[in-house]
Chains A and B, each alone.
Chain A
């Protein structure tokens, strides 16, 4: 990115001192290239996840069981489009255009959260996504409200408010199903079985295999490691599942009083990292479908965008001629 001549280039040490003083980094501030790149990657992936995440849930808008549920799902999916826009704008402050990020999503170069490569075959999946996926997202995102990069931190404050509303909504869907008929309760349990492990994996590889974590923590982009966040998630969700009479599908799950520095926490079973990496690399149940749907929408919309561009040019020309 081109720098202004009078922009002060700070040394890595000065930059770190600024971070350590908890000062926010703003778009025009000097920053190490690695910091910029890490943020572009992270915010871009986050934006893509919001946009791709609209698909598995959008699936159920036309089939939602009541008008009330239909309206909340529509509002939720619309919030996600809003988050996507908001985050693309935050990433643009770092010098990468939305068009470029979109191309990377469509070409498969850029990643989005692997969780959206799992299918939503039943209505209960909408409950499970809200409860678990948005729940995991909040665990990740609340610390990001204090992220060192100003525009991202500010975007996250608003996004977190909406996400926590979504999570309550999802849990309430599951609660209603769990209290419902036998068929509804079974539907809820099957959805929990499907979404539990992918949600636990959402925090990314364990700390030992997470090369980006160290810098991100040092630069206060990340405040907790993947495993710390995963533990918080498991500790929060297990009692919620118990409360509504659903069973977390992990036979090794048990209370361990040594966890969380002796305050206690849940020990959980082995995560299937082969599955995690397989889905990340493109071989999940819905990777092709998700990207194909986005490519199709983009290609079929090209005449619309071309028309909007042509119309705007004509208007501009007419305006200039009138001046």
Chain B
């Protein structure tokens, strides 16, 4: 792989891996605290998938960039500005409705993303991985969509809470679909699809589900952004303090 191609693949893998790791981290915070025992089982299960995706992607990234010796160095030992995840995934969970709505937005996006990677990606190892990732994110999207409908349609209180969640997450959706020079380069090289190219499929599905839950589709304009450049929100520092605690407190140890 030529060095500029390698840089592109590395950065692209990091973006997706960081999204998955950080949302997996947030999702795992629910463990033992969910509204029902079934959800106490489902949410850690989804976190397991998301963090598992991150692990595979970091391993692929390490194969490309010899500066990093293993996946843990990428996951645990970078500085805040070196993480490239979306602001959407690092926000605190909020209530259960906010959590499932964010999961629905993200996993529906990723479902279409992986579907395109399956067909178009020039990087064989990622293309192979996308088969499994597509199936798992499709399941996450379905799980979350059922809750969005249930909570939207359920009671006046739950409908109000879901409307609040829509308003709360709205400023972060623009970044999900934001093309930049990097995403254009990835697309021109048949590596990753451009986020805007997924927008229509995503919008149709999200709109239909929100409608079933008597909820309004939000405006999607670029408001809060910065995650892709390593500019994160306040909440992210606390998340990293938990995530990195052991590796920082006991450096150079095997676990």
User: What residues of chain A have their CB less than 8 Å away from a CB belonging to chain B?
Assistant: 51, 54-55, 58, 61-71, 74-75, 77-78, 81-82, 84-85, 88, 123, 173, 176, 179-181, 183-184, 293, 296-298, 300-311, 314
The answer to whether A304 touches B247 (Cβ under 8 A) is: no
Residues of B within 8 A of A301 (CB): 34-36, 39, 96
Q: How far is the CB of A121 from chain B (nearest CB, A)?
A: 12
Contact flag A74-B51 (CB < 8 Å), given A65-B246, A300-B95 = yes
- Check: B97 CB closer than 8 A to any chain A CB: yes
For residue A302, which residues in chain B have a CB less than 8 angstroms away from its CB?
Answer: 35
24 residue pairs A–B, Cβ–Cβ below 8 Å: A62-B243, A63-B242, A64-B246, A67-B58, A67-B71, A68-B55, A71-B51, A78-B41, A78-B45, A84-B37, A85-B38, A123-B246, A179-B254, A180-B253, A297-B33, A301-B39, A301-B96, A303-B158, A304-B35, A307-B151, A310-B153, A310-B155, A311-B149, A314-B153
- Contacting residues, chain A, for B31 (C-beta < 8 A): 54, 58, 61, 74, 77
Distance in angstroms between the alpha carbons of A132 and B58 in the assembled complex: 33
Cβ of A16 to closest chain B Cβ, rounded Å = 36
For A306, give its contact among B28, B149, B153, B158 (CB under 8 Å): B158
Chain B residues lying within 8 Å of A180, measured Cβ to Cβ, are 253-255
**Chain B residues numbered 197-227 whose CB sits less than 8 Å from any CB in chain A:** none
- Interface residue B186 (Cβ < 8 Å from any Cβ of A): no
Closest to A82 in B: B41
**Contact surface of B with A, Cβ cutoff 8 Å:** 25, 28-29, 31-41, 44-45, 47-48, 51-52, 54-55, 58, 71-72, 75-76, 95-97, 149-151, 153-155, 157-158, 161, 242-243, 245-247, 250, 252-255
Q: Is B40 in contact with A54, judged by CB distance below 8 angstroms?
A: yes
In the complex, what distance in Å separates the CA atom of A306 from the CA atom of B75?
A: 39
A62-B28 contact given A67-B55, A78-B48, A81-B44, CB 8 Å threshold? yes
A85 engages B155 (CB within 8 Å): no
Given contacts A311-B149, A311-B150, contact A63 B253 (CB under 8 A): no
Q: Determine the chain A residues whose CB is within 8 A of the CB of B96 once the complex forms.
A: 300-301, 304
Complex CA distance for A194 and B147, rounded to whole angstroms: 42
Beta-carbon contact of A74 and B32 below 8 Å? no
Chain A residue contacts of B47, Cβ below 8 A: 61, 74
Interface pair A71/B55, CB less than 8 Å apart: yes
Q: Which partner residue on chain A sits nearest B97 by CB separation?
A: A304
Which A residues lie within 8 Å of B41 (CB)?
Answer: 78, 81-82, 85
Residue on B with the closest CB to A290? B32
Given A78-B45, A303-B157, A310-B154, are A293 and B32 also a contact pair (CB < 8 Å)?
yes
Which chain A residues lie closer than 8 Å to B157 at the CB level? 303, 306-307
Q: Are B38 and A55 in contact (CB under 8 A)?
A: no
Chain A contacts of B151 at CB under 8 A? 304, 307, 311
Tell me if A297 and B250 are in contact (CB < 8 A). no
Closest 10 CB pairs of A and B: A301-B35, A307-B154, A307-B158, A65-B246, A304-B35, A81-B41, A58-B31, A54-B32, A65-B255, A58-B32
